[in-house]
């Protein structure tokens, strides 16, 4: 195809003015200005249902790095664009001019074709790629007000001048284009520029009719067929142009493309074949080449019923596709929630195990070993007490209390040893829990993306918080002894030394699962010592009271430990809390989709029948140069 010298003949759009066009048909449940709204029925109108769906879609988030998240995010963006760009504005004005979006591969000749159909150079064409950087919309001057108001494609800024910004819409009027019809020259669907490809898809989703342009050299490419499959899935009205076909290959190429269309269920779409030819000085194709396509569009523009049928079919297809598409989003939200739950479960399991380790440590006597045992033995003078275990219990109590009163320093050493032992245990279990939680998240695709290095270890201030915890617990044990023993003579007789000494004995009791009834481990670590402490406590409080005090002190300690470890777990849980979808997101999506489907079934769009097939347009075979429908 040769290219002649082009002469720019561009006409710019008129200033916006009210179109005075009739309002939307009452069957949609919505009316335009100047008509009374039908009385409310208590059911959603289709625009109302779509508005609710738009809000539900806008609230959907997919922040966790799951395989479905990227596709879901793209689907949300595409649905939001389609609702904003096409469905809502088109439902508000069914009588608005028919928008034909011209799409296709790089170098397919879209701009040249648009220029030729409107008989003016309204869209730049050339050998540089991509040629169309910002979309160009051309309409009859009588229709310009509708497109200038921005109800359709509201995210694009209107301009009268060509430019390179893909977020602008260059509006041009062409008197040769009949009223009721507009062409939008879209960027290439396979553009090397990501923004251009995205915009091309967005514009195609806003089309009443797709005019898909390909060439004899490119018609079998994968990217165009992906778009054609999308058109079929949404029930969009589609027409195809096979451009630049060598004369000797016309029959073969056209027949092959027709077979491919039939295999994909697209054989009802009209197919126009344009020969490889020259362009004139304005960059326009010969009139005889484009006449079949131009005549086809002229008949469409002149037939209000045919245009309305196109709108109903495309709208009906797009509306029918909403429920399954929204359901895929709801499922993706469910996956996000399930993933957040799974991550939380791994954290909670790690810290529950840490709590169990502490509880087990209080049962199995391990805390009675080492420094704690040595300080306890030193404090109460075990050997002397063991020899007098058989003596009268009152005398034993008096001797032990006297020993406590004479030994304040060993009491401090014992208290410090208990504190050190507990803090060491807490630091160990917290470090182990953090490591397990970190490993669990690292093995999960959504968790790995949320991790930070410091999560692999317990928090930096945990040792200080553990020390405060133990000291607070020790004070609470002393208060417990003071309250429980307040009506007993020993408190008054021995004052603070008795309370402190008894409190220390109670702390030691907490470290043994049976409140000083010897187990095998306790025998190995000093049964005589524990039995001596038991005798002292029983002498003061009685057997059952000792068990009750030990249980209360143990429960108090475990509750404090749980709070500490829960705070550690929160470092993880706060991350999932920040990215977790709102509880009702999936439900809101499903309910909104159900409302749309119910409104669609009431609206009449559910029974839209296919239009613009070969039978209804008079196109019995691929149209070539010189032929007429």
pLDDT tens digit sequence for 575-585: 999 999 988 99
For residue 403, name the pLDDT band (cuts at 50, 70, 90): low
Looking at the structure, tell me whether residues 455 and 317 fall in a common domain. Answer: no
* Residues paired with residue 214 on neighbouring β-strands, in sequence order: 242
pLDDT at position 503 is 78
Dist. CA 453–CA 83, nearest whole Å: 42
> Are residues 199 and 37 in contact, defined by beta-carbon separation less than 8 angstroms?
no
Residue 35 has pLDDT above 60, yes or no: no
Assess whether the previous peptide bond of 130 is cis (omega < 30° from 0).
yes
pLDDT digits (tens, 9 = 90+) for 109-128: 899 999 999 999 988 874 44
Dist. CA 602–CA 32, nearest whole Å: 19
Express as a percent the part of the chain with pLDDT over 70: 75
> Are residues 617 and 296 in contact, defined by beta-carbon separation less than 8 angstroms?
yes
Q: Across the beta sheet with 157-159, what order do the strands follow?
A: 157-159, 168-173, 136-139, 181-185, 98-104, 209-215, 237-245, 271-275
pLDDT at position 414 is 83
What would the mean pLDDT of 80-106 be, rounded to a whole number?
Answer: 92
| Domain presence at residue 20 | no
Looking at the structure, tell me whether residues 101 and 187 fall in a common domain. Answer: yes
What would the mean pLDDT of 162-172 be, rounded to a whole number?
Answer: 87
Residue in 232, 336, 390 with CA at minimum distance from that of residue 577? 336
Residue 542 has pLDDT above 90, yes or no: no
pTM of the complete model: 0.75
> Are residues 90 and 173 in contact, defined by beta-carbon separation less than 8 angstroms?
no
Express as a percent the part of the chain with pLDDT over 90: 48
Dist. CA 507–CA 499, nearest whole Å: 12
Q: Which domain holds residue 265?
A: 47-56+63-331+588-617
Looking at the structure, tell me whether residues 311 and 399 fall in a common domain. Answer: no
Q: Specify the higher pLDDT residue, 237 or 395.
A: 237
**If 0-12 CB within 10 Å is exposed, 13-18 middle and 19+ buried, where does residue 113 land?**
buried
What would the mean pLDDT of 490-513 be, rounded to a whole number?
Answer: 65
pLDDT at position 513 is 52
Number of domains into which the chain is organized: 2
Dist. CA 376–CA 205, nearest whole Å: 81
pLDDT digits (tens, 9 = 90+) for 425-435: 999 999 999 99
Query: b vs e for 523-542, b when ≥16 Cβ sit within 10 Å of the residue's Cβ?
Result: eebbbbbbbbbbbbbbbbbe
Looking at the structure, tell me whether residues 232 and 153 fall in a common domain. Answer: yes
Query: b vs e for 128-157, b when ≥16 Cβ sit within 10 Å of the residue's Cβ?
Result: eebbbbbbbbbbbebbbbbbbbebbbeebe
Q: Phi and psi for 184 in degrees, rounded to 5?
A: -120, 110
Q: Specify the higher pLDDT residue, 503 or 311.
A: 311
First to last CA, the chain: 25
Looking at the structure, tell me whether residues 89 and 140 fall in a common domain. Answer: yes
What would the mean pLDDT of 55-68 be, rounded to a whole number?
Answer: 94
Looking at the structure, tell me whether residues 415 and 564 fall in a common domain. Answer: yes
Looking at the structure, tell me whether residues 162 and 203 fall in a common domain. Answer: yes
pLDDT digits (tens, 9 = 90+) for 182-224: 999 988 887 777 778 888 888 888 899 999 999 888 888 887 8
Dist. CA 206–CA 81, nearest whole Å: 8
Residue 611 has pLDDT above 60, yes or no: no
Looking at the structure, tell me whether residues 382 and 307 fall in a common domain. Answer: no
Dist. CA 424–CA 370, nearest whole Å: 13
| Domain presence at residue 104 | yes
Q: Specify the higher pLDDT residue, 75 or 404.
A: 75
Residue in 122, 123, 155 with CA at minimum distance from that of residue 10? 122
| Domain presence at residue 128 | yes
- What integer best gives the mean pLDDT of the chain? 79
């Amino acid at each position: 195809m040769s290219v002649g010298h082009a002469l720019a003949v561009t006409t710019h759009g008129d200033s916006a003015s009210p179109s005075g066009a009739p309002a939307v048909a009452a069957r949609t449940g919505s009316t335009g200005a100047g008509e009374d709204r039908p009385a409310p029925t208590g059911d959603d109108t289709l625009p109302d249902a779509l508005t609710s769906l738009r809000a539900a879609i806008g609230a959907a988030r997919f922040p966790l790095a799951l395989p479905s998240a990227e596709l879901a995010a793209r689907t949300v963006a595409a649905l939001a664009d389609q609702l904003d760009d096409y469905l809502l504005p088109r439902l508000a004005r069914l009588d608005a001019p028919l928008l034909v979006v011209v799409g296709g591969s790089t170098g397919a000749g879209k701009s040249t074709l648009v220029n030729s159909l409107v008989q003016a150079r309204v869209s730049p064409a050339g050998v540089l790629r991509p040629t169309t950087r910002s979309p160009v919309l051309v309409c009859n001057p009588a229709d310009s007000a509708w497109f200038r108001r921005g109800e359709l494609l509201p995210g694009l800024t209107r301009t009268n001048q060509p430019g390179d910004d893909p977020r602008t819409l260059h509006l041009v009027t062409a008197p040769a284009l009949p009223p009721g019809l507009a062409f939008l020259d879209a960027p290439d669907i396979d553009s090397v520029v990501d923004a251009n490809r995205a915009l091309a898809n967005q514009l195609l989703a806003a089309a009443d009719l797709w005019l898909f342009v390909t060439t004899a050299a490119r018609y079998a490419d994968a990217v165009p067929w992906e778009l054609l499959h999308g058109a079929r899935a949404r029930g969009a009205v589609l027409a195809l142009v096979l451009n630049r076909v060598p004369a000797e290959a016309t029959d073969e190429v056209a027949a092959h493309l027709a077979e491919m269309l039939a295999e994909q269920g697209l054989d009802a779409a009209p197919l126009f074949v344009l020969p490889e030819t020259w362009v004139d000085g304005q960059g326009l194709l010969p009139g005889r080449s484009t006449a079949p396509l131009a005549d086809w569009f002229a008949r469409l523009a002149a037939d209000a019923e045919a245009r309305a049928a196109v709108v109903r079919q495309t709208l009906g297809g797009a509306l029918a596709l909403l429920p399954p598409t929204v359901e895929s989003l709801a499922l993706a939200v469910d996956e996000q929630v399930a993933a957040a739950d799974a991550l939380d479960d791994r954290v909670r399991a790690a810290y529950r195990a840490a709590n169990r380790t502490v509880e087990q440590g209080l049962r199995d006597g391990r805390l009675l070993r080492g420094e704690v045992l040595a300080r306890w033995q030193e404090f109460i003078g075990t050997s002397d007490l063991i020899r007098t275990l058989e003596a009268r219990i009152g005398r034993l109590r008096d001797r032990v209390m006297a020993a406590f009163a004479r030994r304040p320093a060993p009491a401090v050493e014992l208290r410090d040893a208990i504190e050190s032992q507990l803090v060491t245990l807490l630091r160990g279990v917290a470090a182990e829990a953090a490591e397990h939680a970190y490993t669990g998240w690292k093995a999960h695709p959504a968790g790995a993306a949320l991790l930070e290095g410091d999560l692999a270890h317990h928090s930096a201030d945990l040792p200080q918080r553990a020390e405060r915890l133990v000291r607070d617990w020790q004070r609470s044990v002393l208060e417990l002894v003071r309250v429980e023993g307040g009506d007993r003579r020993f408190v008054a007789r021995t004052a603070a030394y008795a309370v402190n000494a008894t409190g220390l004995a109670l702390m030691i009791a907490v470290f043994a699962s049976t409140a000083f009834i010897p187990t095998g481990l306790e025998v190995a670590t000093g049964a005589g010592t524990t039995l001596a402490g038991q005798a002292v406590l029983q002498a003061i409080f009685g057997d059952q009271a000792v068990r009750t005090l030990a249980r209360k002190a143990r429960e108090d300690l475990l509750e404090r430990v749980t709070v500490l470890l829960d705070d550690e777990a929160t470092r993880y849980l706060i991350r999932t809390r920040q990215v977790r979808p709102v509880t009702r997101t999936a439900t809101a999506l499903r309910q909104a989709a159900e409302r749309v489907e119910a409104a669609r079934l009431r609206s009449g769009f559910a029974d839209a029948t296919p239009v613009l097939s070969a039978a209804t347009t008079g196109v019995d075979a691929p149209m070539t140069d010189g032929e007429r429908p």
